[in-house]
Amino acid sequence: MIIIPFAFPSLPNIKAAFTTRLGGVSQEPCAEANLSWEVGDEDARVLANRRILQRRLGFDHWFETRQVHGVEMVIDPGPGTGAGPGAGTGTETGTDDISLGPTLEADGSATSRAGLALIVKTADCQPILLAHRDGGHVAALHCGWRGNRQDFPQKGVAAFCQAYGLRPEDILAVRGPSLGPSASEFVNFDLEWGDAFRDYFNPATKTVDLWRLTRDQLLTAGLRPDHIFGLDLCTANLPETFFSYRRDKITGRQVGLIWIA
């Protein structure tokens, strides 16, 4: 499985990574490394891909939500929290949360528990991973364009800081592969966005620069400019590397994930 690691400066115990579509066992249209139960892929293939990822990266537990393009956060989930109907059925290696689907509806999560990987599933939306400079607190946000429109980067940072008594200027963030400026077309901009976001809209191409918008929203949330990072890899324009819902409609999901080692 081809994985893109990210290292936060001076935080060696915080691990972060973004997967690609390469190197798993799923077949078309979810080939190869689909990690979502919710796109029509065979359960056995999804589980195999998840186990490959866990073995490669070495985290203990997996936490995901049912993403609904909202602004809700789950704070301090325990391993297996929100697991779906498969809970307790076990596998050949025992019952574990990597084999269970999500039931809690939210688009962000935060933890201070070591070994618990927070998972964001994407196929164009932005995975935004947050880490506090003390190395003891992390969060993960799923931010589609609806999340940007609802100011989820600001609200997610605020919820993270409030939960643990943190200061936003001490938070570091990285935005992973997602829909790039040249591919983010919105032909109904006035209806879907409105004047508050017009500075990010190019009327000639009818595209919105979601990457710049997210950076500005993180700055508004109180992050320092030198604490905001981005992987400028467009999911729609790199079909051999990433899943893209906008490009393919029926497709798999890659993930962004962060955990405390």
Indicate whether 93 pLDDT > 80: no
200 pLDDT band (50/70/90 cuts)? very high
- Quote the CA–CA distance of 248 and 91 in Å, as a whole number: 32
Q: Are 14 and 135 in contact (CB under 8 A)?
A: yes
Work out the burial of residue 29: count CB atoms within 10 Å of its CB; fewer than 13 is exposed, 13-18 middle, 19 or more buried: middle
Q: What is the pLDDT of residues 39-49, one digit of tens each?
A: 999 999 999 99
DSSP line for 63-105: E--B--SS--EEESPPTTTTB-TTTT---TT---GGG--B-SB
Q: How many domains does the chain have?
A: 1
Q: For all residues of the chain together, what is the average pLDDT?
A: 92
- pLDDT for 92 beyond 90: no
- Domain of 143, CATH number, reads 3.60.140.10
The pair of three-digit structure tokens given for residue 231, joined into one six-digit string: 């992987």
- Host domain of residue 60: 3-260
Full-model pTM: 0.93
* Res 80: pLDDT: 61
Tell me the average pLDDT across 173-202. Answer: 96
The edge-to-edge listing of strands for the beta sheet with 73-75 is 73-75, 108-111, 138-143, 126-132, 171-175, 228-230
108-111 vs 138-143, strand pairing mode: antiparallel
**DSSP of 29-43, one letter per residue?**
TSTTT---STTS--H
- Four-point Cα dihedral 35, 36, 41, 44, nearest 10: 60
Sorting pLDDT into bands at 50, 70 and 90, what band is 100?
confident
Say if CB 252 and CB 21 are below 8 A apart: yes
The answer to whether the CB of 243 falls within 8 A of the CB of 34 is yes
Q: 91 pLDDT exceeds 80?
A: no
| Residue 51 pLDDT exceeds 80 | yes
Non-local (6+) Cβ contacts of 109 within 8 A are 63, 65, 73, 74, 75, 77, 118, 139, 140
d(CA 175, CA 177): 7
> pLDDT band for position 157 (50/70/90)?
very high
Give the burial class of 43: count Cβ atoms within 10 A of its Cβ; 0-12 exposed, 13-18 middle, 19 or more buried: exposed
